[in-house]
């Protein structure tokens, strides 16, 4: 019996008849659900109403308000310090959003983590504390990159670890502390230590950029340990928002990308293969984004557990970030949205 109303101030409202009255209407502020016609046109997040009209929401152009100045980001990713330390011990922030309100956090499984794969596991109390810390830090949107296979099957099916069991608990906790507009719908399953298709990654990245158009949204992007697949997404977003990262000193790229890859990633010449395939300019931005991600990652209280220490875990992951940096294939649209050409 409710009907779409217009924007009131900076909130979307639905007009709902009050019980016992045919005349009085209550306007309830709601975040417009994706099923209600949320879309991005010309870089503006909009909502299509039932009457066919298009109304701008409480949002910004894609990329607006997310970037730090070139001087700041080049300085801060070299020595990030406390701002990069995440809400819980296995998480970290990236320089996306305003300094006083960061909007992009990456880390490990956000709910109760079962033991295995280098992690000892968590109690219910530890898991609830972790969730509370995320919500108190402003997280509104949980982005799941895991898939229901192999060791991760337990995450998706276990009654004490899965999204299905924890989402109601998180919503209840969010209501108690004033975080009531939570989003658990964004998913992009990726194989452990691997990648999804370029088309699906491009779709995910655009969805994340749309979500970030709303300055009230704060993303928590996670896989199992928060290193590899989270790194694909984090490094890709850094490439898109900060082409200036290519100006990072070679010494920084060597320390936080090139040398670790030569020691821990197979094949050992993965960096050289990527450089040969994509050319110096794309390789420089890719290595710089990886170095920035890993340097922020190093501010976690606990980095170990969930596979290889940092990013990448494979040549496939490195090369997919390079394709994002180059604007190849489906990633060309993302560059166009951010530079205003689309």
Tell me, which fold does domain 70-340 have in CATH? 3.90.190
For residue 49, the model assigns a pLDDT of 35
Calculate the average pLDDT of the chain.
83
Q: How far apart are CA 238 and CA 37, in angstroms?
A: 28
The string over 255-294, giving b where at least 16 C-beta atoms fall within 10 Å of a residue's C-beta and e elsewhere, is: ebbbebbeeebeeeebbeebbeebeeebbbbbbbbbbbbb
Q: Which residue has the higher pLDDT, 207 or 179?
A: 207
> What pLDDT digit, counting tens, does each position of 196-233 carry?
999 999 999 999 999 999 999 999 999 988 999 999 99
8-state DSSP, 326: H
182/218 Cα distance (integer angstroms): 10
Residue 136 neighbours by CB under 8 Å, 6+ apart:
87, 177
Residue 173's CB is within 10 A of a number of other CB atoms, namely: 18
Dist CA 35 CA 111 (whole Å): 26
Domain ranges of the chain: 70-340
Q: Please state the rounded mean pLDDT for residues 328-332.
A: 97
**Residue recorded with tokens 């984004």:** 289
Give CA–CA dist 215/224, Å, rounded.
27
CA distance 206 to 212: 10
Q: Tell me which of 96-105, 235-244, 303-312 is least confident.
A: 303-312
């Amino acid at each position: 019996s409710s009907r779409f109303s217009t924007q009131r101030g900076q909130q979307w409202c639905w007009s709902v008849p009050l019980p016992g009255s045919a005349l009085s209407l209550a306007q309830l502020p709601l975040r417009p659900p994706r099923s209600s016609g949320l879309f991005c046109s010309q870089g503006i997040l909009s909502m299509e109403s039932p009457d066919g009209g298009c109304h701008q929401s409480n949002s910004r152009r894609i990329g607006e308000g997310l970037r730090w100045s070139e001087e700041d980001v080049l300085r801060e990713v070299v020595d990030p310090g406390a701002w990069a330390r995440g809400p819980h011990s296995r998480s970290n922030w990236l320089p996306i959003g305003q300094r006083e309100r960061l909007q992009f956090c990456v880390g490990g499984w956000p709910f109760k983590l079962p033991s295995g794969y280098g992690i000892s596991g968590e109690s219910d109390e530890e898991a609830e504390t972790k969730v509370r810390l995320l919500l108190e830090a402003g997280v509104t949107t949980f982005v799941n990159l895991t898939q229901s296979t192999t060791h991760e099957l337990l995450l998706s099916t276990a009654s004490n670890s899965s999204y299905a069991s924890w989402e109601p608990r998180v919503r209840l906790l969010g209501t108690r502390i004033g975080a009531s507009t939570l989003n658990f719908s964004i998913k992009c399953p990726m194989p452990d230590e691997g990648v999804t298709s370029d088309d699906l990654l491009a779709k995910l990245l655009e969805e994340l950029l749309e979500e970030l158009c709303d300055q009230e949204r704060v993303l928590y992007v996670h896989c199992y340990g928060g290193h590899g697949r989270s790194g694909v997404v984090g490094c890709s977003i850094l490439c898109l928002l900060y082409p200036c990262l290519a100006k990072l000193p070679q010494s920084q790229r060597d320390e936080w990308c090139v040398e670790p890859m030569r020691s821990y990633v197979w094949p050992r010449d993965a960096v050289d293969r990527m450089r040969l395939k994509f050319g110096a300019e794309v390789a420089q931005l890719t290595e710089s984004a990886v170095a920035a991600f890993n340097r922020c990652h190093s501010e976690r209280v606990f980095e170990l557990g969930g596979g290889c220490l940092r990013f990448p875990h494979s040549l496939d992951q490195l090369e997919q970030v390079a394709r994002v940096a180059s604007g190849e294939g489906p990633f060309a649209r993302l560059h166009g949205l951010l530079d205003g050409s689309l």
